[in-house]
Structure 1
Amino acid sequence: MPDKPLKVRLRQIRLEAQDIVSLELVAAQGGALPAFTAGAHIDFLLPGEKIRSYSLINDPAETHRYVVAVLREPEGKGGSVWLHDRPRVGDVLEIHPPVNDFALAADAAESVLIGGGIGITPLMAMVRQLDREGRSWRLHLAARSPQHAVFLDELRALDAGRGRLTLHCGAEDQSRMDLAQVVANAPAGAHFYCCGPARMIDAYQSACTQLPPERVHLERFAAASEAATAGGFELVLQRSGQRIAVMPGKTILDALLDQGVSVQYACSAGVCGTCMTGVIEGEPDHRDEYLTEEERSANRHIMICCSGSKSPTLVLDL
């Protein structure tokens, strides 16, 4: 279960690039905030019971503030538009404390970071932490042009002319990112981290197929598969005995919430793990990007926000 929400005050909102703003948050009552590590995210508790996750981009050594960057997505589910349009400096917001599902490997001799678009956000904190600790890193950043590369000036300052930052611009064919080449050219034993749009993640996974899984790290914005909404099965809640039909057009999460069942959820896209629920009986139709292949095969857990059921009945640990 998530920790008790924190009240934070919006100290600064800043336009970083077209349709991207950064929000700087401090403890509402002053003092230090809970510590975090590079790759961590916080969940905003927004009106309408919406919960939205955003990566922390500042140095984890900072305990006095959290900084996130938000891309305005008019076709999204409303969280980014609200954060762009509604909060004002001085407002108090509620968040859940940081959680890290995309952590740096402590023993990596070299860290190769690969980002595209707003996917640079978790990598910003990684670069800051690695550089502060004197650890070797390289960052490959994909953007349509230098003007579209958010935080480029900050990254160049962190690179300090050492050649650790490579910008790949899609509009310039000679610098388009070749992920297979990026992986092949990395030092032996390097760990790889990727965050970006779906096509980049898919290409990254293809480029890393021959590497040990423990050296390949990624974070998606959304599940690679569409949510399971075919319905046509029944949920049995083990603890209460309640039976709930999941109708066509509904996810498991929809069906539970419609019946007033209190469950935790955040991203609604199968990537954050907040809604992970135990499976007692039945065969889930896994659509998430959080569980490993081994965990999916075991069928002991399901992400109820996006996954469905292959069996007529699914008994959940609820």
Structure 2
Amino acid sequence: MTSDLISVKVVEKSSVTDDYCVMKLTALDGAPLPMFSAGAHISAKTPQGGMRNFSLANDPEKREYYLLGIKAERNGRGASASMVDTVKAGDVLEILAPENDFELVSADQYLFIAGGIGITPILSMCRQLLREGNENFKLIYCSQSPDTTVFLDDVTAPDLAPYVTLHHDKGELSALYDFWPHMEIPDKRHIYCCGPKPMMEDIKDMSGHWPESQIHFEDFNPVQVLRADDRAFEVYLSKSGRRLRIPENQSILETLRSEGYDLKSSCESGSCGTCRTTLISGNADHRDLVLTDMEKETSIMICVSRAKNGELVLDI
């Protein structure tokens, strides 16, 4: 474990479906948790062993707890699924302090667009605006049905419901919400979108004629970590003097952790830079979204990147 990790207790957990749950976390001593801003996320160490990012749904002033909405990505590597399937009320988790790549900027008006679990950070934004007395926002929240709608009670509560359009598409393409009327004519609104990748791609396409500074997206999974054609390779750890085989179905980070190495990470999806490691030599297959071309000559993100061929020599 790293010294940055904070121990918290799961005081409440409720299941929405087999794939969705809501968790409330508190400090072990009941003290206020670290400050955060609307749109922020924490990284949590999951029962599966990996670190994963989860957005905070509560008003930033409510620091006596953190409220998470979690979806089990059944086609992923098992970390989010282990949170939904395994964690229960009373368990202790280890997390990193909140960070924010999805900040709520000051604006005259807002349009929030959420799909599925993407409601989580946007709910925090709505709660902050309501507390501040700002009523200049609209929320469009899309899900398949009421039964699969995370935070349904919150978005239909009397204080928030007047600002919410709740749309259920029943999983049918013909019933998807038509966002174009909201995008056709650019204005001063700031648009925040979080949801499934197809939804966000649609919003990006529809908002292409808007000022880029007014369109904001949150995406925790921008990188395909493992690919069908991945092959095993070796890394040589220069400080340890060890040579290890990295299987085709594991990252460098996962393999090294399984060998007892205590390595810091956060997103584990190639987008934060926490696991940056010095690359001494080797032909790396860089899959991150952080390093510049020049930096790739001497650094590697071991949560996602691999070897194109041959051996990688790392400063570990």
TM over 0.5: yes
Deviations 1:124-167 (A, max 9, x none): 111111222233322121212344322233113266554x3222
Contact 1:193 1:218 in 2 (8 A): yes
Per the alignment, residue 124 of structure 2 pairs with 125
Q: Indicate how the Cα distance of structure 1 residues 110 and 276 shifts in structure 2: closer, same or farther if over 3 A, else same.
A: farther
Q: Hey, what's the Cα distance between the residues in 2 that align with 1:123 and 1:3?
A: 30
Cα distance in structure 2, aligned partners of 1:85 and 1:278? 36
Q: Which residue in the other structure is 2:178 paired with? A: 178
- Using the size of structure 2 for normalisation, the TM-score is 0.78
| Cα offset, 1:54, TM superposition | 1.4
The gaps in structure 2 that reach 5 residues or longer are: none
- Name the SS of the counterpart of 1:98 in structure 2: coil
In 2, the alpha carbon distance for the partners of 1:296 and 1:283 equals: 16
The match for 1:31 is: 31
Deviates more, 1:16-25 or 1:112-121: 16-25
Distance 2:210 2:202 in 1: 14
Q: State which drifts further: 25-34 or 171-180.
A: 171-180
Question: What is the deviation of 1:64?
Answer: 0.7
Task: Give the alignment partner of residue 306 of structure 1, picking from 286, 304, 307.
Answer: 304
Q: Which amino acid aligns with 1:82?
A: S
Distance 1:96 1:20 in 2: 22
Q: Residues 280 and 38 from structure 1, CA distance in 2 versus in 1: closer, same or farther, beyond 3 angstroms?
A: farther
Contact 1:195 1:201 in 2 (8 A): yes
Aligned counterparts of 2:100 and 2:133: Cα–Cα separation in 1: 22
Q: Secondary structure at the match of 1:194?
A: strand
Tell me what 1:205 maps to: 204
User: Would you say the 8 A contact 2:223–2:269 is kept in 1?
Assistant: no
SS at match of 1:42: strand
Alignment match, 2:149:
149
Q: CA deviation at 1:210?
A: 3.4
Query: What amino acid is aligned across from residue 140 of structure 1 in structure 2?
Result: I
Write the mapping of 1:261-300 to structure 2, written as runs, cut at 5 A: 262-277=262-277, 285-288=285-288, 290-291=289-290, 296=292, 299=295
Answer yes or no: is 1:140 the counterpart of 2:122.
no
**Residue in 2 aligned with 1:215?**
214
Q: CA 1:287–1:206 in 2, change beyond 3 Å: closer, same or farther?
A: farther
1:97 alignment partner, SS class:
coil
For 2:217 and 2:277, the matched residues in 1 are separated by: 22
- Paired AA for residue 303 in structure 1: M
TM-score, length of structure 1 as denominator length: 0.77
Deviation at 1:185, TM superposition (A): 4.7
User: Following the alignment from structure 2 to structure 1, what is the Cα–Cα distance between the partners of residues 125 and 90?
Assistant: 28
Q: Distance in 2 between matches of 1:111 and 1:279?
A: 44
| CA distance in structure 1 between the partners assigned to 2:184 and 2:263 by the alignment | 44
Q: How many residues were matched structurally?
A: 310
What is the DSSP-based 3-state SS (H/G/I as helix, E as strand, rest coil) of the residue aligned with 1:25? Answer: strand
Change (3 A) 1:112 1:244: farther
Question: Secondary structure of 2:10's match?
Answer: strand
Give, in angstroms, the shift of residue 117 of structure 1: 1.0
Superposed, 1:236-255 pairs within 5 Å as 240=239, 249=248, 251-254=251-254
Take 1:91 and 1:232, find their aligned partners in 2: how far apart are those partners? 36
Partner letter of residue 71 of structure 1? Answer: K
Q: 1:8 to 1:227 in 2, by over 3 A?
A: same
Q: For residues 86 and 258 of structure 1, do their structure 2 counterparts lie closer, same or farther at Cα, with a shift above 3 Å needed?
A: closer
User: By how many angstroms is 1:186 displaced?
Assistant: 5.7
8 Å contact from structure 1 (residues 113, 138) kept in 2: yes
1:116 aligns with 2:92: no
- The alignment status of 1:67 with 2:95, answered yes or no, reads no
Aligned counterparts of 2:158 and 2:100: Cα–Cα separation in 1: 23
2:48/2:82 contact within 8 Å kept: no
CA contact (8 A) 1:43 1:53 kept: yes
Q: How does 1:16-55 map to 2 (within 5 A)?
A: 16-17=16-17, 19-47=19-47, 49-55=49-55
Identify which range, 16-25 or 266-275, moves more after superposition.
Answer: 266-275
- Matches of 2:273 and 2:64, distance apart in 1: 27
**Contact 1:8/1:27 (<8 A) preserved:** yes
Calculate percent identity across the aligned residue pairs.
Answer: 36
Query: Over residues 9-41 of structure 1, what are the superposed CA-to-partner deviations in whole Å (9 max), with x where a residue is unaligned?
Result: 222122345532211111111221111111112
